Structure 1
């Protein structure tokens, strides 16, 4: 098995994703719903990565190296139109993280993202969205003290510090909330049902 070429392929998927994201930021198209072109790229990347995983198992650090392992996580994290794939990968990533073959922080982010899409409280407070006041805030989480304890265990800063950092990055990238927040939330809920996150 040529893990080197597989690693390169996974990194290429990640780079295509980030290039499109940068382009959407430049064109001020990121905050207003799930961009069609981005959704298509995320679905394509998920299909390619799923085929890779079916061939080699989870792309762990020891198989493909740290860069490709992190790239695989980013592709998974962005494959939001594929609930079954994300859940399958979460289980595989958990096993890999427990064996120190993948990053526990990546597992925290993926766990939270799935929870948010399933309309459940997140455990680590890693997922943010625009709130009713037009500010980026953490999606629902269970308990601030517990969240910060869990974050500390895996080497993350506090949720308060993370919130400040996320808001600064959004400002630096000139990101802004959707023009009609209520409409965006309604569209998001319809999309969640359509792709199978909720019934």
Structure 2
């Protein structure tokens, strides 16, 4: 937490709200605090106050990040470096209590994905996580669940054009995603309804 305070002071004294080196330092510090809080929950989900601390960190992170995104846009990987770029995604990914912020961040992130300055797979995870939390169909086919030993992908919006959307952001065809999920999980796996099986074979 001390690292966050010091890095925040650095941004405040930089003379520019879009001082990317300073912002990168804060992003990495905030991501470190995020992960430390969640490590406590992983070790003991019932640890006293642990969930409240994680939620408070999430709140502070998005309160800090929102005005920066509005003023500066999504941080480009070539400018802030991969660790800070991934930290930016992590803050958005864990903003489940503010779905509008997640969508706002995703729109800005996609603009950078399209010019190869952000990670398309991370964008897909963010967008589909938001859809799952809002009980809406997912866009990129990243979310699935396992019930009674059967793996089923969550509903997909316009499944006939799933691979078109995946290709737009640089993802491999869904068949590759299906194969990867199948290889990492035991049990039966169902091909999602409406997704063409032969539209784009796995080319990974």
Q: How does 1:38-187 map to 2 (within 5 A)?
A: 38-128=54-144, 133=148, 138-142=153-157, 154-155=171-172, 157-162=176-181, 165=184
- The match for 1:21 is 38
Structure-2 change in CA distance of 1:83 and 1:5 (3 Å): same
> Could you tell me whether the CA contact under 8 Å between 1:148 and 1:158 is conserved in 2?
no
Structure-2 change in CA distance of 1:132 and 1:162 (3 Å): closer
Structure-2 change in CA distance of 1:107 and 1:160 (3 Å): same
Structure-2 change in CA distance of 1:151 and 1:65 (3 Å): same
| SS in structure 2 of the partner of residue 158 of structure 1 | helix
> Could you tell me whether the CA contact under 8 Å between 1:124 and 1:147 is conserved in 2?
yes
TM-score scaled by length of structure 2: 0.65
Report how many aligned residue pairs link the two structures.
163
Q: Which moved more, 1:85-94 or 1:54-63?
A: 54-63
Structure-2 change in CA distance of 1:115 and 1:22 (3 Å): same
> Could you tell me whether the CA contact under 8 Å between 1:128 and 1:139 is conserved in 2?
yes
- How far the C-alpha of 1:7 sits from its partner, in A, is 0.3
Higher relative helix content: 1
Structure-2 change in CA distance of 1:113 and 1:61 (3 Å): same
Query: What is the rounded CA distance, in whole Å, between the counterparts of 1:150 and 1:100 in structure 2?
Result: 16
TM-score scaled by length of structure 1: 0.67
Structure 1, residues 1-30: CA drift from partner, whole Å, max 9, x if none? 432121010011111111111111111449
| SS in structure 1 of the partner of residue 86 of structure 2 | helix
Query: What is the rounded CA distance, in whole Å, between the counterparts of 1:54 and 1:43 in structure 2?
Result: 17
Structure 1, residues 37-88: CA drift from partner, whole Å, max 9, x if none? 3222212111111132234221111331222111101110110111221111
What value does the CA root-mean-square deviation take over the aligned residues?
A: 3.2
Unaligned runs of 5+ in 1: 169-199
